[in-house]
């Protein structure tokens, strides 16, 4: 690790950075950088020194996390008054850092500068609502990138302020204990755990805080042990959070000493994660096959995923092959486009760590194949989750079997947890999907060519099978399985109303303008629901599928 140095030591470097830094990036990284920064430029409030909220769901409030990412982009671009604006943003964010050691959110950062003081009677503390503990990691890692990549552009005062802020955020992160005070940070919560371990060690080494170094290394060993069980992230196959984990692991490798165990293990974890991605990425559908532990939609061509941004910066892949439209900001969950500058800056280093055998799979579908693995997320998982997927031309089926303490995966959120999913080419330019909506804490799933079987080991008469099905351009109104476009589905159960293999079902709609259900992560859908009758043990439903 390079020691943090005052800006005066780098004056010669500053002129070079001003002239050529962005131009020195690989071409795909330049494209991501320039397009994402141009988009964020339109949200920047020069008077406030913050970005307006990128979700456009607030009345001109600002937002802290994306402002930190934008500040890094300003330093990388270094045109006109970019550096001054970046320093303004950074110091604004630091001024809003929570500094009361007695509060659970000590060392964290405001979600937005206009928010009331967290914890007052009118604005009580609510983890992941009035404050978000993961923002220590998101902002802290960005500040580290700023110190490592652009020290020559910063004033000594700003460098000192960042160092002090990082110490506070690293200490504040030690307040997080899984299962205590509603916190869920265990080593199995991959993306924030990987960020916390890195930030703790980085601050510990650079500021001679041995207690932080020791805490980070203890957590890193736990993360690595969990990963090494099957070479999988506990937070498995998330279009968004696999992207965050790859980002944080890149920091393990790039910014920690080469002889540090995290530098070495980070390389292995990045390579093995990309090998799994290469097996599950369907280049024809431009989607990751299921199952998805945490997803913000059912079609990566319609929501902005961080994996797609990583694909974009790979020299052999690029924007179009990643499934991104001309203007990614039109996608659902578009606020994550603000990660663009960070991924662009890390692109050259990160893409060199991707195994060469993976690269062709990111652009050309390799043909029919299966994938089998497992992942483990204690304390929510009672046993490891068994993962299987089958991919063929025009279709993918993926699922995982699990036995958990909660409904909705490790995040207890069925809207993000998609443990069984089918995707196919509808033939009209669209991607169809069928996703099982989690209503049970345990599932036995079997995947085979053109077939998906789901069974509830703990199921009873209160159980239902809820299958989320995509809308279709050619068939706007759906009333039965016969209305699917591009796919024929034969559904069999072991609880037929007359003892046969078939069962009745109900179809409802989740629409933004009406219907019995609300959209899930901005996706409208048809909900096919099967109710399990009395007296049925281990209810089972099987989908037999055929492309048409």
Tell me how far apart the alpha carbons of residues 7 and 41 are, in angstroms, rounded to a whole number.
Answer: 26
By three-state DSSP, how is residue 437 classified? coil
What pLDDT does 503 receive? 74
pLDDT above 70: percentage of residues in the chain = 95
Contact predicate 399/388, CB 8 Å: yes
Tell me how far apart the alpha carbons of residues 336 and 320 are, in angstroms, rounded to a whole number.
Answer: 18
Q: Is the pLDDT of residue 221 over 60?
A: yes
Q: Residues 355, 360, 363, 366: is their CA dihedral positive or negative?
A: negative
Q: Is the pLDDT of residue 316 over 50?
A: yes
What pLDDT does 437 receive? 98
Q: Is the pLDDT of residue 448 over 80?
A: yes
Instruction: For residue 537, name the pLDDT band (cuts at 50, 70, 90).
Output: confident
Across residues 320-338, what is the average pLDDT?
98
Instruction: For residue 235, name the pLDDT band (cuts at 50, 70, 90).
Output: very high
Across residues 394-415, what is the average pLDDT?
97
User: Is residue 99 packed enough to be buried (19+ CB in 10 Å), middle (13-18) or exposed (0-12)?
Assistant: exposed
| Helix (H), strand (E) at residue 337 | none
What pLDDT does 476 receive? 95
What pLDDT does 380 receive? 98
Tell me how far apart the alpha carbons of residues 229 and 221 are, in angstroms, rounded to a whole number.
Answer: 12
Per-residue pLDDT of 353-374, as tens digits, reads 999 999 999 999 999 999 999 9
User: Is residue 96 packed enough to be buried (19+ CB in 10 Å), middle (13-18) or exposed (0-12)?
Assistant: middle
| Bond from prior residue into 291 cis (ω within 30 degrees of 0) | yes
Question: For the chain, what is the largest distance between any 2 Cα atoms, rounded to a whole number of angstroms?
Answer: 83
| Helix (H), strand (E) at residue 488 | strand 487-493
Across residues 430-453, what is the average pLDDT?
98
Looking only at the bridges linking them, the beta strands covering 395-403 and 385-392 are: antiparallel
By three-state DSSP, how is residue 208 classified? coil
Across residues 214-228, what is the average pLDDT?
98
Please provide the CATH number assigned to the domain covering 21-360.
1.50.10
What pLDDT does 3 receive? 39
For 80, the token pair is: 């006109």
Tell me how far apart the alpha carbons of residues 398 and 419 are, in angstroms, rounded to a whole number.
Answer: 8
Q: What is the mean pLDDT of the chain?
A: 95
Q: Is the pLDDT of residue 7 over 50?
A: no
What pLDDT does 497 receive? 61
C-alpha distances in angstroms, 437 versus 267, 342, 384, 409, 526? 35, 34, 20, 11, 12
C-alpha distances in angstroms, 445 versus 386, 545, 546? 9, 16, 19
CATH 1.50.10 domain extents, the chain: 21-360
What pLDDT does 501 receive? 60
Per-residue pLDDT of 484-494, as tens digits, reads 999 999 999 99
- Nearest Cα to Cα of residue 246 among 201, 308, 301: 308
Please provide residue 361's backbone torsions phi and psi, each rounded to the nearest 5 degrees: -70, -15
pLDDT above 90: percentage of residues in the chain = 92
Q: Higher model confidence: residue 201 or residue 497?
A: 201
Tell me how far apart the alpha carbons of residues 108 and 169 are, in angstroms, rounded to a whole number.
Answer: 6
How far is Cα of residue 52 from the mean position of the Cα atoms in its chain? 22
Across residues 173-200, what is the average pLDDT?
98
| Bond from prior residue into 343 cis (ω within 30 degrees of 0) | no
Per-residue pLDDT of 30-84, as tens digits, reads 999 999 999 999 999 999 999 999 987 789 999 999 999 999 999 999 999 999 9
| Helix (H), strand (E) at residue 368 | none
Q: Is the pLDDT of residue 16 over 90?
A: no
DSSP letter for each residue of 224-269:
HHHHHTTT--SS-S-TTHHHHHHHHHHHHHHHS-TTSHHHHHHHHH
For 305, the token pair is: 């995923």
**How many other CB atoms are there within 10 angstroms of residue 213's CB atom?**
19
Tell me how far apart the alpha carbons of residues 217 and 223 are, in angstroms, rounded to a whole number.
Answer: 10
What pLDDT does 146 receive? 98
Q: Is the pLDDT of residue 117 over 60?
A: yes
């Amino acid at each position: 690790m390079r020691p943090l140095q005052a800006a005066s030591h780098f004056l010669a470097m500053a002129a070079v950075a001003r002239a050529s830094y962005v131009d020195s990036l690989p071409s795909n990284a330049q494209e991501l950088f320039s397009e994402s920064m141009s988009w964020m430029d339109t949200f920047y409030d020069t008077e406030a020194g913050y970005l307006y909220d990128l979700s456009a769901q607030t009345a001109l409030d600002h937002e802290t996390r994306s402002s930190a990412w934008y500040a890094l982009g300003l330093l990388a671009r270094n045109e006109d008054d970019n550096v001054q604006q970046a320093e303004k943003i950074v110091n604004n964010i630091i001024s809003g850092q929570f500094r009361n050691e007695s509060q659970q959110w000590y060392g964290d950062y405001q979600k937005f500068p206009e928010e009331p003081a967290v914890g007052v009677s009118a604005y009580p503390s609510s983890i992941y609502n009035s404050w978000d503990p993961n923002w220590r990691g998101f902002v802290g890692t960005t500040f580290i990138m700023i110190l490592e990549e652009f020290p020559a552009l910063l004033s000594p005062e700003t460098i000192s302020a960042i160092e002090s802020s990082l110490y506070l955020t690293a200490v504040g992160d030690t307040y997080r204990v899984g299962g205590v005070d509603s916190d869920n940070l265990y080593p199995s919560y991959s993306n924030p755990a990987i960020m916390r371990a890195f930030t703790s060690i980085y601050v510990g080494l650079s500021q001679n805080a041995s207690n932080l170094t020791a805490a980070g290394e203890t957590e890193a060993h736990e993360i690595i042990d969990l990963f090494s069980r099957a070479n999988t992230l506990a937070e498995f196959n998330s279009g968004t959070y696999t992207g965050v984990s790859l980002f944080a692991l890149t920091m393990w490798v790039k910014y920690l000493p080469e002889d540090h165990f995290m530098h070495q293990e980070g390389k292995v974890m990045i390579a093995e994660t990309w090998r799994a991605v290469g097996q599950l990425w369907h280049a024809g559908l431009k989607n990751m096959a299921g199952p998805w532990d945490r997803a913000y939609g059912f079609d990566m061509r319609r929501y902005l995923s961080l994996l797609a941004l990583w694909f974009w910066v790979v020299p052999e892949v690029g924007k179009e092959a990643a499934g991104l439209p001309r203007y990614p900001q039109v996608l659902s969950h578009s606020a994550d486009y603000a990660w663009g500058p960070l991924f662009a800056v890390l692109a050259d280093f990160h893409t060199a760590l991707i195994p060469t055998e993976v690269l062709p799979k990111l652009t050309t579908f390799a043909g029919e194949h299966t994938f089998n693995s497992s992942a483990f997320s204690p304390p929510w998982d009672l046993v490891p989750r068994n993962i299987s997927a089958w991919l063929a031309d025009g279709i993918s089926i993926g699922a995982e079997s699990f036995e958990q303490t909660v409904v909705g995966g490790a995040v207890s959120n069925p809207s993000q947890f998609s443990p069984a999913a089918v995707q196919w080419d509808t033939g009209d330019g669209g991607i169809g999907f069928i996703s099982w909506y989690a209503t049970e804490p345990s599932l036995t799933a079997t995947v085979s060519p053109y077939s998906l079987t789901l069974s509830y080991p703990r199921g009873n008469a209160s159980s239902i099978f809820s299958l989320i099905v995509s809308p279709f351009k050619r068939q706007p109104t759906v009333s039965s399985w016969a209305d699917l476009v591009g796919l024929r589905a034969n559904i069999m159960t072991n609880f037929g109303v007359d003892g046969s293999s078939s069962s009745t079902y109900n179809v409802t709609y989740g629409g933004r303008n009406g219907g019995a259900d609300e959209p899930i992560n901005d996706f409208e859908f048809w909900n096919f629901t099967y109710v399990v009758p009395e007296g049925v043990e281990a209810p089972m439903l099987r989908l037999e599928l055929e492309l048409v």
